[in-house]
Amino acid sequence: MFGYRDKIGRVEWFMSNREGGYSTNAYQSLNLGFYSGDDESSVLRNREALSQCLGITSSHLIIPKEVHETQWIWVESMHTRLSVAEREQLFVCDALLTKEPGICIGVTTADCVPILLYDDSQRVVAAVHAGWKGVVKGILPKVVKEIASQMAIMPEHLNMRVNACISAACFEVGEEVAKLFEKEGLDHDIVIRSSNYTKPHIDLRKAIKQQAEACGVKRDNISISNECTYDNDRYFSARRDGFASGRMVSGIMLHP
């Protein structure tokens, strides 16, 4: 069920893999995403199983509908009383933040970059979904700025975990996408043009690391997985398997 799971102080974080669920066919078996064609009842059973492993009720597992933009929502205890339908209408964004203990916030991915931020001493956590569009639009710097503003936390005190995503070797893009990265100054070792490739490749992990350091997150506080979702069949990969396949969740939670 878990590709990673760890607890540091009062902060627990994880990334699911595709094992240990109830979905079938292309979604086998722990698909945690609603929006790629799987049976909704299977996804609900999978989310219930994940919640049980985390020791929480499914109402305390909050996951947004990602739209590749830069909006975020602060999750509060009152949100755990919403119905599934109400949550689906409210949580349309690419980042969740919370100060509430016992609520697990997470984002779904299947090649995009899942980013988890936390400050245990100030009791705040965030989960960020960053596809290439979100990287270019700067969702991570915006979330870091929001935490710093609302919590009076210097970015240098934040910790950041980047879970498995697609690697540069597997992430081929068109020239128009490469130029968007270059326009935003995301070009040093990030846009890769090589005789080994017919088209440019993008290193999303390096782009996220560059953005994090540029907005004040300390290098020593950044941890990045080197696992590639495309190359590892323990994970879902939309580029490898098609859009109609499963999604993992990267989540983070404060404990009392």
Report the share of the chain in percent with pLDDT over 70: 100
Distance CA 200, CA 169 (A): 10
Rounded (5°) CA angle 232-238-244: 125
Q: What is the pLDDT of residues 168-204, one digit of tens each?
A: 999 999 999 999 999 999 988 999 999 999 999 999 9
Q: What is the pLDDT of residues 34-44, one digit of tens each?
A: 999 999 999 99
> Does 60 score more than 90 pLDDT?
yes
The residue-averaged pLDDT of 232-253 equals: 97
The residue-averaged pLDDT of 76-93 equals: 95
So what's the pLDDT on residue 53?
98
Distance CA 33, CA 194 (A): 35
Per-residue confidence band for 142, with pLDDT thresholds at 50, 70 and 90: very high
**CA 49 remoteness from chain centre:** 20
Per-residue confidence band for 84, with pLDDT thresholds at 50, 70 and 90: confident
The whole domain housing 245 covers 2-254
Q: What is the pLDDT of residues 149-175, one digit of tens each?
A: 999 999 999 999 999 999 999 999 999
On whether the pTM is more than 0.95, the answer is: yes
So what's the pLDDT on residue 116?
98
Is residue 47 within 8 A of residue 121, CB to CB? The reply is no
So what's the pLDDT on residue 188?
82
Structurally, the chain folds into a number of domains equal to: 1
So what's the pLDDT on residue 187?
81
The residue-averaged pLDDT of 45-68 equals: 98
Is residue 163 within 8 A of residue 250, CB to CB? The reply is yes
CATH at 17: 3.60.140.10
- Amino acid making up residue 193: R
Q: What would the two tokens of residue 221 be?
A: 């506080």
Written as one string, the DSSP assignment of the chain is -EEEEEEETTEEEEEE-S-S----GGG-S----STTS--HHHHHHHHHHHHHHHTS-GGGEE--B--SS---EEE-GGGGGS-HHHHHHH-BSSEEEE--TT-EEEEEESSSEEEEEEETTTTEEEEEEE-HHHHHHTHHHHHHHHHHHHH---GGG-EEEE--B--GGG-B--HHHHHHHHHTT--TTTEE--TT-SS-EE-HHHHHHHHHHHTT--GGGEEE---BTTT-TTS--HHHH-SSS--EEEEEEE--
